[in-house]
Every structure is written in C-alpha cells, then in structure tokens.
Amino acid sequence: MTLFWAVCAALAALALALVLRPLLARRGAAGVSRREANIAVYRDQRRELDADLAAGKLAPPEHEKARAELEARLLEDVDASGETARAPRGGRRTALLVGVTVPLAALAVYFAVGTPAAVTGLPGQGEVTAGQIEVMVQRLAARLRENPDDADGWKMLGRSYAVLGRFGEAVDAYAKAAVRAPRDAQLLADFADALAMARGRSLQGEPEKLVQRALEIDPQNLKALALAGTAAFERKAFAAAADYWQRMLPLVPAESEDAQVIRDNVAQATQLAGGQPPASSAALPQAARLRGTVRISPRLKGKFDPEDTVFIYARAAEGPPMPLAVQRVKARELPADFALDDSMAMAPGMELSAHPRVVVTARVSKSGGATPQPGDLQGASAPVANDADGVAVIIDTVVR
C-alpha cells in the first residue's frame, strides 16, 4: 500500500509539473523530448505497479485503478503539438492568448472509463504508440455510449479528440457535455476553441457566443478571456481586445513569462486602437503599493488541498464591491506574502490608488473559481491605507 500511495504522489507531481510549465511550450526538439520523457515515466511507473502486484504488495483492484489512472494521464501527456483557435498574430507570443487548452486534471477519467475490469492493460515494455492511444480514446467513447449522462466523461473525450486534432469529433463530445453541464465555464471555453478550429480557426459567430456565455458564468476564466480578446482582435475591435487581455493579468503570476506575453499583446492592441499602452504593459510591473502576508488559522489546517487556489484581493472600504487588485497563489504556499498595485486592476477606473482605504480579503477556493462557494475558507483585514505595508490577513472562516 505504501508504494501505491507513492505512485499516486508521483502522478500528482507529474500533473503539477505539467500545469506549472509555460502555457504554450516551444515546438520541435523540446516537444519531442517532453513526449519521450512522459512516456518513459509512464513505462517506469507501469513496471513498478506490475512488480508490486506480482510481489503481493498491491491488491488487484488497487493495481487496476492505478493503471487506469496512468492510462488516462498518458492520453493528455503524450501530446506535444496540440493546436488551438487562431491567434491574431503568428508565433508563440500571441498563441498564449488562445493556448490555455492543456487539461489541468484527469483524475475523474477512471470513473468515466468504467470499472477496473473493463480496462485492459497496455504493454508494460516498449514505446507507447499512437494506435495504443487511439485504443484508450475508443474505450472511453464506448463507455460513454453505455453511460451517456456522464458529463465529465464527455468533457474528457472532447479534450482527447482535440489533442488528436479530431476537432469535429471534439465538438460533438463537447456539445454532449454542455447539454449536461450548461454552467461549466471552462467546458464552454474548450467547446468554443474546438468549434473555432473545426471552422477554419475563426472565433466569429457561434464560438464567440460560447465564449461570452463562459464569461457570464465566470468573468475570470483565463481561457475565455483569451479567446474573447482574440475574437475582438479578429474583428479589428482592438480596444475591446486590449480590455479582455488586460483582465488576464491578475490571473497569472505578475513576473512570469505568461504575464509578459499578455502585456505585450495588450500594448499591441492598444497601439492599434490609437491609444497609448497601459501602464501594466510595461516590461516590468509597477512597484507594489499594498503589501502584507496571508496566513491560515491553525484550526483550519487540514481543511484544504495544497493545490487549492487562494485569491488575495483588495476592495474599497467604502465604495463598489468590485476587486481593485487581485493576486493568486496556491494553498501550499501559505503563509504567503502579497503585493497589490494598479497593474492588477480588473477594469479601467477601478485602480487601487483611487481608493484611500481598502480591505484585503483572502479566500481558499475549493472550485478554483472566483465566486465564493460554500466550503471555501476566507479571512479579511481591517480597513487599511491603500499604500500600507505589513498588512496581516488571517484565513479563519468557512464560507456558508
């Protein structure tokens, strides 16, 4: 059993490494090496599982479940060249704005595929071929024909078809998922991307409508904002494109390569609109105005997952409830220092510097969404000056 959980931890580490990798990696030799590395990891973990089964360290059900999860992860990891809907310019920079398509998790796919007995194994040795990957996808499709109400299964199938470049089939799978989960913003954004690819890489028409529905549900969905900006850019609505892309900045680490790419694109769209690039499109973010530390109450430790998202944001102490600046960290990083400034504004005219007194709130989001949900963990500071230093925020409340 110990080794089984070690394998699970290795899988989680692999998934985290994939998520933290830049949103769109360079093609070519680097992509090939990543693919081979992922396959090598799969083979090693598979051999270890088989050895533990033979030695009696794992029970057959545990072995089958771990193997099914490995298969599901491999469906996503072996792809190194997935395409997304067309960006306004060629190259890696603008591709980021529509490239948030790598699935962030596939832990539920085991239940979509079916019982462990229904999953026949892949060879433990040798190269994993495209044919074997295709077999995994076919298994999932067959299982969904027997269980058509499985929304998570349809989403996984849509992602798998998109990875394989079979966008027409991805659209069909996403459509079935959307009927069963109409309020899933990430699903609608993925659906829009696949539909745009199937229609010649254009977001105009139905794909853009899907994107707007996603933003109505979750105004901070990163992929939906990226696609909305690209759709506006296609229509030469450059000011709107800059606005959508500007709203992405608080959702990525401020000094990351992704943030720099977004700032460059905001600057380009703003220039094409006839205006000056916003301050946040400078090469480096402005100096922080509001600093402090977020901690979690000892009594709430163990009530969250280390990979849960923590939103740290400032609101006017007296004024509109809209966040003035937002920063995101992972729960595993707590206690975490934060630095909020005008470059993290959610909308023009709603900058931190415009409100002398603010309240800083921190919330552990179980769903990863920006809207508070029951079970989230939250805490807030007392009203402080917008340029205060050493602000202390204690997460000590469960959202009801």
The answer to whether 192 and 223 are in contact (CB under 8 A) is: no
Please state, in angstroms and rounded to a whole number, the distance separating the CA atoms of residues 345 and 349.
8
Q: Which of 114-118, 196-200, 230-234, 379-383 has the highest mean pLDDT?
A: 379-383
Q: Which of 159-168, 235-244, 268-277 has the lowest mean pLDDT?
A: 268-277
Mean pLDDT within 65-89: 55
> What type of residue sits at position 296?
I
From CA 173, how far away is CA 112, in angstroms rounded?
13
CA distance 125 to 85: 36
Tell me 71's DSSP state: H
Distance CA 96, CA 102 (A): 11
Mean pLDDT (whole number) for 63-81: 60
Arithmetic mean of pLDDT, 314-323: 83
Tokens at 254, concatenated: 């401020």
- pLDDT above 70 coverage of the chain, percent: 66
- Fold of the CATH domain 2-235: 1.25.40
Q: What is the pLDDT of residue 39?
A: 63
Question: In the chain, what are the domain boundaries?
Answer: 2-235, 249-285, 290-398
pLDDT in tens, 35-45: 555 566 666 67
Encoding tokens for residue 77? 């990891």
Does 274 or 241 have the greater pLDDT score?
241
Distance of alpha carbon 48 from alpha carbon 124, whole angstroms: 9
Main-chain phi, psi angles of 231, to 5 degrees: -60, -45
CB neighbour list of residue 332: distance below 8 Å, 6 or more residues apart: 306, 307
pLDDT band for position 123 (cuts 50, 70, 90): very low
- pLDDT tens for each residue of 210-241: 999 999 999 999 999 999 999 999 888 999 99
Q: Which tokens go with 267?
A: 């600057």
What would the 3-class secondary structure string for 92-138 be? HHHHHHHCCCCCCCCCCHHHHHCCHHHCCCCCCCCCCCHHHHHHHHH
How many other C-beta atoms can be found within 10 angstroms of the C-beta atom of residue 43? 19
The Cβ of residue 277 has, within 10 Å, a number of other Cβ atoms equal to 16
**Mean pLDDT across the chain, nearest whole number?**
74
Confidence of residue 122 (pLDDT cuts 50, 70, 90): very low
Q: Please list the residues that pair with 339 across neighbouring strands.
A: 291
Give the integer Cα–Cα distance in Å for 319 and 378.
Answer: 21
